[in-house]
Amino acid sequence: MRYKLAIFDLDGTILNTLEDLADATNYVMDRLGMPKRTIEEVRRFVGNGIHRLLELAVVEGTTDEGVDRAFDIFNEYYREHCADKTQPYDGIMDVLKALRENGVLTAVVSNKADYGVQSLCEDYFPGMFDFAVGEKQGIRRKPYPDSVLAVLNRFGVEKKDAVYIGDSEVDFATAKNAGLDVLMVGWGFRSAESLMELGAEKIMEKPAQILDQIL
């Protein structure tokens, strides 16, 4: 076994959350009288937390107060609708079960609001993660390594024995900043080509390939 701990990103890595994120974004746009955003636009905007998503989604020239208002509206809506269309990627549950059966610790570190991380992990992956954390006040979000390092400390695992799995440039940078090996997946919110340009050595095309790299 190569690693004792597998830390996963959430959106675009284990869960396809894009439609619910787009629906929530466009609910905000409707409320604020702004043009709606396409799925592809939202795909490009996600990865750095909800506040950044909305900074990019609102019309140019929106004040900081306006973005904060959009953020509040988004959270109010998304708390109730974060799982309307969201689904795990095919094969992910089998991967998580195999990791746990082989004694590998599993965790989630995401830039999604912590309420969403907790709710979605409980709904879709009950008992599959030893720890999960999202964005919350007082903790720097990815690509800062703070949350990843906190997980290592929590379980007493050395960096060499942990791997981070994600789908975006933010995840790649997070792993590098934390000093961890990284596995990049090609089914998420970024193209395999863009991940290769970052310097990713190998892109996982199917979830089962994650097991080949860990066990």
- Residues 25/178, Cβ–Cβ less than 8 Å: no
Per-residue model confidence (pLDDT) at position 137: 87
Peptide bond into 35 cis (omega under 30): no
Segments in 82-157 forming alpha helices (H): 92-101, 114-124, 146-155
Contacts of 12 (CB under 8 A, 6+ apart): 18, 46, 47, 166, 167, 168, 185, 188, 189, 190
CA proximity to 147, closest of 182, 107, 96: 107
Per-residue model confidence (pLDDT) at position 130: 98
CB atoms within 10 A of CB 40: 10
**Residues 56, 153: Cα–Cα separation, whole Å:** 34
Contacts of 61 (CB under 8 A, 6+ apart): none
What is the end-to-end Cα distance of the chain in Å, rounded? 4
Per-residue pLDDT of the chain (215 residues; tens, 9 = 90+): 899 999 999 999 999 999 999 999 999 999 999 999 999 999 999 999 999 999 999 999 999 999 999 999 999 999 999 999 999 999 999 999 999 999 999 999 999 999 999 999 999 999 999 999 999 888 899 999 999 999 999 999 999 999 999 999 999 999 999 999 999 999 999 999 999 999 998 899 999 999 999 99
